[in-house]
Amino acid sequence: MTDRLQAAPNLALNETIARRRSAGEPLIHLAFGEAQLPVPAEVLDWLTTGARRTEYGPVAGDERVRSSLARYFDRRRLPTGPEQIVVAPGSKPLLMSLMAVVEGDVLLSSPSWVTYEPQARLFGRRVHRVPVPEGYGGAPDPSALRESIRTARTGGSNPRLLVLTLPDNPTGTVPPPEAIRQVCAVAEEEDLLIVSDEIYRDILHDPDLPFLSPAEEAPDRTVICTGLSKSLGLGGWRIGAARFPVGRQGDLLRTRTVAVASEVWSTLAGPMQEVATRAFDEPKVITEHFLAGARLHGAVARAVHSLVTTAGAICRAPQGGFYLYPDFEPVRESLREHGVTDSVSLQRHLLENLGVAVLGGHHFGDDPGALRFRIATSLLYGDDSAQRERALAATDPQSTPHVALMLNQLAVAFNALTAGKGTHA
């Protein structure tokens, strides 16, 4: 019997890669969504300042950190009061809490981040997958969403919670504003609660790219989750936050979420509240770091995009975050010569025969027969802080020697992947 409680595939693979690398195996690791940015000295100072905060604080977070987050959302066209905010040790507990407190089943894009579905199933929620359009991910096709809801209800399900990811993990794209408006219209018609996972919002490769949060279009039914794991590369510090709607439904959701928090994590650690308070106020050092990080992420993602498309894949152009989601369907026959027929064998072949670790599309709720996988391009920035500092500061980061070396190795691997057995790549 298969145990339904299994380690998240991204975390399990990350630990496997670490063990194999420590044993001396030269692997290119592209399977883990870590920002790999150096930490500004000022942020380290804020952590030191906060280290004396050893007392338990309010479950939702103290007034300072919630006010800082309220101002952060104000600057993003979302007027917010501190009473709408809850902070937590990462955005994952907040997402899971919402799965727990919202009565009803869950609608997810296909593909979508690996954690959403397991969290929903832990609470006995049915999960309904809705395909994304060809041009973007992160939000389902509006027409397919409406049809999926009606089919689910006909089958006795009660879909109530729609999860969006803006910008998207795994495709690295941003739905256009009109697509978000259409999805919000469906949510209004069908009485859905929207959870908008916006942890990558501050990593738009083009700062002028139009971005519409569903909280702007459907303010009374949208919860936003965010954090500092991606924009500042503070994944191990576990700083997350949620913004709840104003009104009766928002108040009830927040109250229930705080109740879950009181029984599970008690409060965000005091030192991390200090960091969050300062970072979400966005002093110059933070805004400059956001811009530099987005520039680095965009440059390297575009370079890898060129590699996979040259190797024969179809791939959406990256717009935000640090991911790509190539589809090798056009070269299926060449891959078949290597025993690759689906995303499981594709992930395995890349790792075992070409030394490249990726996460197959089956982990993201995609069709397991498809030849798709996610690449985390941020893992190419260097093995230590000094290399990452150089990549971050470079005008042309993909030409930085250590990054260029990794890109060259990837080019060889992807060309070998799609070359037939009788072809010398």
Query: What pLDDT does residue 38 have?
Result: 95
Nearest partner of 323 among 175, 115, 172, 167, judged by Cα? 172
pLDDT in tens, 402-421: 999 999 999 999 999 998 66
- Would you say 59 and 269 are in contact if contact means Cβ atoms under 8 Å apart? no
Q: Which region among 3-7, 150-154, 293-297, 314-318 has the lowest average model confidence (pLDDT)? A: 3-7
Question: Half-sphere exposure of residue 367, counting CA atoms within 13 Å on the CB side?
Answer: 9
Q: Is 306 helix (H, G, I), strand (E, B) or coil?
A: helix
> In which element (H, E) is residue 118 found?
helix 116-122
Cβ neighbour number for residue 366 with a 10 Å cutoff: 23
Cβ neighbour number for residue 415 with a 10 Å cutoff: 16
| 217 vs 203: CA distance, rounded Å | 21
| 99 vs 122: CA distance, rounded Å | 9
- Would you say 268 and 276 are in contact if contact means Cβ atoms under 8 Å apart? yes
> Which tokens is 6 given?
């299994």
Q: Is the dihedral of CA 33, 373, 143, 135 positive or negative?
A: positive
Query: What pLDDT does residue 423 have?
Result: 52
Strands 193-197 and 222-227: parallel
- Which ranges constitute the DSSP H helices of 237-367? 248-264, 270-280, 284-310, 332-336, 343-354
241 phi/psi in degrees, rounded to 5 = -155, 155
Q: Is the dihedral of CA 363, 365, 367, 372 positive or negative?
A: negative
pLDDT in tens, 235-290: 999 999 999 999 999 999 999 999 999 999 999 999 999 999 999 999 999 999 99
* 4, pLDDT greater than 80: no
User: At 154, which amino acid appears?
Assistant: T
pTM score > 0.85 for this model?
A: yes
